[in-house]
């Protein structure tokens, strides 16, 4: 019989109330709840949130028997095997450290990992000290289109990699940028980055996760092998795929359209070849894979594919990018600062406007 895992979620998101456009948005905990429900040997037994109404709504929707207003109480009473952290990013480090002290088998923390490298390092250290597997929910590296793209790249289908591109219409570095930065590390087996150079613009009062955010960012960086990466976030680009991998002999594109998750063009061929995959670049199946991969890592006593160490690498590039904007120049890695480069940049912009 397979091991059974007791799961608790910290941070339940919002009640499902339609917005002005009729869209219902509840928060990332909703996807975690659905993913655990789809994994036979994981049972969501408890949830914690400081908002009683949101907590009650989440527990009712996901049939969670025990709700807590204080996550410390949940950790002390529920003897959890897996803890999902679905709060705002500023709370990730403290909550993960507290959860690790309760010694579950694993923690699945939402992305981005933290706001500073010291916070990320403290998370990794606390989990290592308590023998807890830490995963950061960069779930797309576990999705079929991305795994297939990596297989094609590794096989030499497009020759040697030269340049990776990513685009996020309406996105920011801290929110969506972290996914594509993580994917570029995934494609190159976590190859280190040498330097980062970035530009950004903020002309609204945009706030996500309780943090001020830019409206448009351009990030350019180089891996140790010389492969360059380019991200454009915020302002939409017509017909730009989500990921484009450019090599000496061809191109791989992901997310060209909802009906074309993955395609390849070899320079010696006449056109594009659609690669059949069952999954898209978005979807609940990626969250399910995330849970399954974490449980597999626990049972094999191994690091999960979306490990804390890998999450730290993505965070380092993000923070170096914000630092580059503030410094107006190239930032070389390793990058580490006690304060959040993003918050320092936002403070600098506020000062300049006044």
To the question of pTM greater than 0.85 for the whole model, the response is yes
Residue 138 has pLDDT above 90, yes or no: yes
pLDDT of residue 216: 97
Residue 148 has pLDDT above 70, yes or no: yes
Domain check: are 107 and 216 in the same one?
Answer: no
pLDDT of residue 1: 43
pLDDT of residue 20: 67
- Beta-carbon contacts of 154 under 8 Å, excluding residues fewer than 6 positions away, are none
Residue 2 has pLDDT above 90, yes or no: no
Domain check: are 147 and 127 in the same one?
Answer: no
Whether 47 maps to a domain, the answer reads yes
Domain check: are 100 and 202 in the same one?
Answer: no
Q: What is the CATH number of the domain that holds 121?
A: 3.40.50.720
Residue 350 has pLDDT above 90, yes or no: no
Residue 129 has pLDDT above 60, yes or no: yes
* pLDDT tens sequence across 202-236: 999 999 989 999 999 999 999 999 999 999 999 99
What proportion of the chain, given as a percentage, has pLDDT over 70? 97
What proportion of the chain, given as a percentage, has pLDDT over 90? 91
* pLDDT tens sequence across 4-44: 999 999 999 988 877 666 666 789 999 999 999 999 999 99
Structural domain including 40 reads 5-137+285-306
Domain check: are 70 and 148 in the same one?
Answer: no
Domain check: are 125 and 235 in the same one?
Answer: no
Domain check: are 87 and 183 in the same one?
Answer: no
- Mean pLDDT is lowest, of 76-85, 122-131, 206-215, for 206-215
Domain check: are 118 and 43 in the same one?
Answer: yes
Q: What is the CATH number of the domain that holds 207?
A: 3.30.360.10
Whether 353 maps to a domain, the answer reads no
* pLDDT tens sequence across 294-313: 999 999 999 999 999 999 99
pLDDT of residue 24: 65
Domain count, the chain: 2
* Mean pLDDT computed over every residue of the chain: 95
Domain check: are 27 and 133 in the same one?
Answer: yes
């Amino acid at each position: 019989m397979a091991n059974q895992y007791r799961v608790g979620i910290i941070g339940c998101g919002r009640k499902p109330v339609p917005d002005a456009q009729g869209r219902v948005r509840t928060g990332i905990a909703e996807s975690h709840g659905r993913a655990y429900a789809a994994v036979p040997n994981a049972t969501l037994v408890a949830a914690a949130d400081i908002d009683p109404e949101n907590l009650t709504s989440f527990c009712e929707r996901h049939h969670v028997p025990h709700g807590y207003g204080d996550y410390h109480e949940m950790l002390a009473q529920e003897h959890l095997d897996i803890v999902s952290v679905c709060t705002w990013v500023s709370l990730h480090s403290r909550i993960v450290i507290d959860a690790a002290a309760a010694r579950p088998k694993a923690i699945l923390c939402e992305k981005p990992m933290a706001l500073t490298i010291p916070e990320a390092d403290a998370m990794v250290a606390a989990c290592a000290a308590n023998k807890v597997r830490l995963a950061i929910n960069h779930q797309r590296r576990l999705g079929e289109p991305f795994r297939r793209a990596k297989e094609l790249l590794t096989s030499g289908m497009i020759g040697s990699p030269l340049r990776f591109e990513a685009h996020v219409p309406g996105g920011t570095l801290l929110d969506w940028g972290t996914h594509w930065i993580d994917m570029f590390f995934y494609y190159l087996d976590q190859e280190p980055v040498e330097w980062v150079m970035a530009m950004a613009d903020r002309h609204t009062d945009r706030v996500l996760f309780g943090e001020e955010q830019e409206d448009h960012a351009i990030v350019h960086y180089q891996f140790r092998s010389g492969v360059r990466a380019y991200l454009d976030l915020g302002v939409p680009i017509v017909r730009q795929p989500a990921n484009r991998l450019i090599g000496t002999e061809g191109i791989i594109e992901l997310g060209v359209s909802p009906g074309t998750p993955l395609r390849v063009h070899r320079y010696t061929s006449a056109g594009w070849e659609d690669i059949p995959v069952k999954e898209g670049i978005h979807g609940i199946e990626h969250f399910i894979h995330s849970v399954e991969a974490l449980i597999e890592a626990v049972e094999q006593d191994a690091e999960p594919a979306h490990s804390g160490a890998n999450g730290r690498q993505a965070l380092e590039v993000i923070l170096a990018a914000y630092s580059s904007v503030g410094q107006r120049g190239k930032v070389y890695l390793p990058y580490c600062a006690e304060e959040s480069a993003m918050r320092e940049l936002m403070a600098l912009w506020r000062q300049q406007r006044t």
